[in-house]
Amino acid sequence: MARDLFHKTVKNGLIKEGWQITDDPFFVKVGGVEFFIDIGAEKLIAAEKDDERIAVEIKSFINPSSISDFHLAIGQFINYRVALKIKDPSRKLFLAIPDTIYRTLFQKELPKIVIQEYQLNLIVYDIETEEIVLWQT
Q: Residues in the site for a copy of itself, rule: CB under 8 A? A: 30-35, 67-68, 70-76, 78-79, 82-83, 86, 105, 108-114, 117-118
Report the nearest approach of a copy of itself to the CB of residue 15 (Å). Answer: 27
54's CB contacts (< 8 A; 6+ apart) are 19, 40, 41, 42, 91, 92, 93, 94
Q: What's the order of all strands across the beta sheet hosting 20-23?
A: 20-23, 39-43, 52-58, 92-98, 122-126, 131-136
Report the residue number, 36 or 45, with the smaller CB distance to a copy of itself.
36
DSSP letter for 112, please.
Answer: H
Distances (CA, A) of 83 to 22, 74, 96: 18, 14, 18
Closest separation between CB of residue 72 and a copy of itself, Å?
5
| Residue placing its CB nearer to a copy of itself in the complex, 45 or 110 | 110
| Coil, strand or helix at 10 | helix
**Least separation in angstroms between CB 116 and a copy of itself:** 10
19 versus 26: smaller Cβ distance to a copy of itself: 26
* Residues belonging to the chain: 137
User: Cβ of residue 98: shortest distance to a copy of itself, in angstroms?
Assistant: 18
Nearer to a copy of itself, 18 or 89 (CB): 89
